């Protein structure tokens, strides 16, 4: 199969799957089979692009032209491939997990849920392989629309309110991106992503306006404070959705947009000459510290993890905007590591909710004795997010701190080190409570009717979280780390500096 055909198929496979899922709505087993098959096929297609892209090829094609210089086109480069590999692999595990969660929790509207999930992955693939700002904008907005039914899935007043806030923030961010795109196309006559940037011909004032608008647009999805309020609210959604939002789709689309801005729209030289990269880095450092502190005081487990996500997304933004090769490497590696580790934590939170009806940290005394695999996975992921070896999170944070030193921004390096302590402060007490505090007197658990007294949850729930925890471990070791390092190194030319 030609590489251009494979590139288009990565967008079409989830889209076709969504239609098949609707057709199979009365046959749950077939519906779930379609979901898993599509996820496996998509991952296979993305992996098949890896050898050619690492050899320097950039397969792609133009689908149609809207006007002179404005094309709807796809192209695969190493940065997009990194994002696509991550999303397609985690869709497999999230699909398995979703089967256990949706059945175990007796959720309604499961066909709509799986179809929306597939549409979301189609837009993520389009986003990853967008060749220019116009195509990126189209898929950026489609991603918001595709995920809205997932956020409001429960149909409760709380989820409806969360959906309104979700749309308000993200569509406003999309409007900022549209204005930035208009300025770029008007001033340059095109918008193709170019290693090292392509906006040198714009006036300084126009460049400042474009950068401000892109920061607003991508900052809304990356949940940089004060653009973050939609994210904790969206935790009302089913846990597979929370895992998708935090590990694969929306928030990662935001930081991916920052990577495109730094490396492929402006380039480090233009950003340095404008003198504004420091402002974005400062906003990211502020978000890291404040969100980590807020997480310390959240008793609701998913909200604690949500504020953790807000902090760790800004690790990535900070790394990308420090404009050093080492920090760039750390930022991209942290996209991968955070995805594996945070999806593990959300999988664990959902498993606790379905199996024991627990959703608060204060309820978790002794739960590690009842559900040792689930809480061992939680412990591994917590070690990784805190940046301790041998987890992959240690490697990305190591590069980020070194990148801060390389860029002569020791204050930012200190913020990242201090935030690692805060991460331990809001995650390690959960592990200690689960394994080292006694079981509540009298059992049954505080979860209420239907809560299970002992044992692990369904294998559909436990197997994915165990695998993602082990992936988080493998990302810090051996060949797996070497593979992702190789992919990241292939993007380092865009910042034009030696590591």
pLDDT at 479 exceeding the cut of 70: no
For residues 417-444, give the mean pLDDT.
Answer: 87
Phi/psi zone of residue 387: left (φ > 0), alpha (ψ -120 to 50 degrees), beta?
A: left
Q: How confident is the model at residue 454 (pLDDT cuts 50, 70, 90)?
A: low
The reported pLDDT for the residue numbered 89 is: 93
Is this structure's pTM higher than 0.85?
yes
pLDDT at 480 exceeding the cut of 80: no
Q: 359 or 238: which carries more pLDDT confidence?
A: 359
Question: Percent of the chain beyond pLDDT 90?
Answer: 60
Residue with tokens 């050619």: 52
Summarize pLDDT for 368-424 with one digit per residue, the tens.
999 999 999 999 999 999 999 889 889 899 999 998 998 889 999 999 999 999 999
Query: Domain spans of the chain?
Result: 276-499
pLDDT at 476 exceeding the cut of 90: no
pLDDT at 486 exceeding the cut of 80: no
Question: Percent of the chain beyond pLDDT 70?
Answer: 94
Cα within 13 Å of Cα(60), Cβ side: 26
pLDDT at 200 exceeding the cut of 90: no
pLDDT at 43 exceeding the cut of 90: yes
pLDDT at 171 exceeding the cut of 50: yes
The reported pLDDT for the residue numbered 47 is: 95
The reported pLDDT for the residue numbered 443 is: 52
Q: How confident is the model at residue 498 (pLDDT cuts 50, 70, 90)?
A: very low
Summarize pLDDT for 337-372 with one digit per residue, the tens.
999 999 999 999 999 999 988 999 999 999 999 999
Q: How confident is the model at residue 441 (pLDDT cuts 50, 70, 90)?
A: low
pLDDT at 497 exceeding the cut of 50: no
Q: How far is CA 139 from CA 99, 121, 123, 143, 223, in A?
A: 27, 11, 5, 6, 19
Residue with tokens 């549409």: 119
Q: What's the CA gap between 199 and 209, in Å, rounded?
A: 12
pLDDT at 23 exceeding the cut of 90: yes
Summarize pLDDT for 79-98 with one digit per residue, the tens.
999 999 999 999 999 999 99
> Contact, 357 vs 395, CB < 8 A?
no
pLDDT at 125 exceeding the cut of 70: yes
The reported pLDDT for the residue numbered 484 is: 72
The neighbouring-strand residues paired with 72 are 64
Summarize pLDDT for 463-474 with one digit per residue, the tens.
999 999 999 999
Q: How confident is the model at residue 180 (pLDDT cuts 50, 70, 90)?
A: very high
The reported pLDDT for the residue numbered 92 is: 93
Q: How confident is the model at residue 300 (pLDDT cuts 50, 70, 90)?
A: very high
pLDDT at 110 exceeding the cut of 80: yes
Secondary structure string (H, E, C) spanning the chain: CCHHHHHHHHHHHHHHHHHHHHHCCCCHHHHHHHHHHHHHHHHHHHHHHHHHHHCCCCCEEEEEEEECCEEEEEECCHHHHHHHHHHHHHHHHHHHHHHHHHHHCCCCCHHHHHHHHHHHHHHHHHHHCECEHHHHHHHHHHHHHHHHHHHCCCCCHHHHHHHHHHHHHHHHHHHHHHHHHHHHHHHHCCCECCCCCCCCCCCHHHHHHHHHHHHHHHHHHCCCCCCCCHHHHHHHCCHHHHHHHHHCCHHHHHHHHHHHHHHHHHCHHHHHHHCCHHHHHHHHHHHHHHHHHHHCCCCEHHHHHHHHHHHHHHHHHHHHHCCCHHHHHHHHHHHHHHHHHHHHHHHHHHHHHHHHCCCEHHHCCCHHHHCHHHHHHHHHHHHHHHCCCCCHHHHHHHHHHHHHHHCCCHHHHHHHHHHHHHHHHHHHHHHHHHHHCCCCCCCCCCCCCCCCCCCCCCHHHHHHHHHHHHHHHHCCCHHHHHHHHHHHHCCHHHHCCCC
């Amino acid at each position: 199969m030609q590489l251009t055909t494979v590139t288009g198929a990565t967008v079409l496979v989830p889209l076709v799957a969504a239609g098949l899922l609707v057709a199979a709505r009365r046959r749950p087993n077939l519906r779930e089979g379609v979901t898993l098959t599509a996820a496996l096929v998509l991952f296979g297609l993305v992996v098949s692009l890896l050898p050619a892209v690492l050899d320097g090829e950039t397969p792609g094609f133009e689908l149609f032209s809207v006007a002179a210089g404005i094309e709807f086109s796809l192209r695969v480069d190493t940065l997009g491939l990194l994002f696509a590999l991550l999303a397609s692999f985690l869709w497999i595990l999230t699909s398995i997990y979703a089967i256990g969660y949706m059945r175990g929790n007796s959720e309604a509207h499961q066909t709509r849920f799986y179809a929306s999930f597939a549409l979301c992955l189609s837009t993520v693939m389009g986003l990853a392989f967008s060749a220019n700002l116009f195509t990126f904008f189209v898929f950026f907005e489609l991603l918001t629309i595709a995920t809205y039914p997932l956020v409001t899935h429960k149909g409760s007043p709380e989820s409806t309110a969360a959906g309104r806030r979700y749309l308000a923030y993200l569509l406003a961010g999309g409007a900022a991106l549209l204005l930035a795109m208009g300025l770029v196309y008007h001033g340059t006559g095109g918008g193709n992503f170019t290693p090292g940037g392509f906006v040198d011909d714009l006036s300084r004032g126009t460049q400042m306006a474009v950068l401000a608008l892109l920061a607003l647009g991508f900052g809304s999805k990356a949940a940089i404070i004060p653009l973050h309020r939609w994210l904790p609210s969206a935790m009302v959604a089913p846990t597979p959705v929370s895992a998708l939002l935090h590990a694969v789709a929306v928030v990662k689309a935001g930081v991916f947009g920052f990577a495109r801005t730094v490396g492929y729209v402006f380039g480090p030289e233009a950003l340095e000459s404008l003198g504004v990269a420091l402002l974005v880095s400062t906003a990211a450092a502020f978000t890291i510290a404040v969100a980590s502190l807020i997480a310390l005081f959240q008793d609701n487990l998913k909200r604690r993890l949500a504020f953790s996500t807000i902090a760790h997304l800004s690790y990535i933004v900070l790394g990308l905007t420090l404009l050093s090769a080492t920090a760039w490497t750390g930022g991209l590696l942290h996209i991968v590591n955070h995805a594996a580790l945070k999806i593990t934590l959300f999988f664990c939170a959902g498993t606790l909710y379905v199996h024991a009806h627990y959703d608060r940290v204060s309820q978790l005394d002794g739960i590690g004795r009842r559900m040792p695999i689930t809480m061992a996975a939680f412990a591994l992921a917590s070690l990784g997010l805190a940046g301790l070896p041998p987890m992959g999170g240690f490697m990305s944070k190591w590069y980020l701190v070194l990148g801060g030193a390389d860029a002569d921004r020791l204050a930012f390096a200190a913020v990242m080190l201090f935030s690692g302590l805060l991460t331990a402060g809001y995650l390690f007490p959960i592990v200690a409570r689960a394994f080292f505090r006694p079981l509540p007197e009298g059992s049954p658990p505080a979860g209420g009717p239907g809560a299970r007294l002992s044992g692990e949850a369904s294998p559909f729930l436990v197997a994915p979280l165990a695998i993602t925890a082990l992936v988080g471990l493998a990302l810090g070791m051996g060949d797996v780390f070497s593979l992702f390092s190789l992919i990241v190194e292939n993007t380092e030319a865009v910042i034009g500096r030696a590591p």
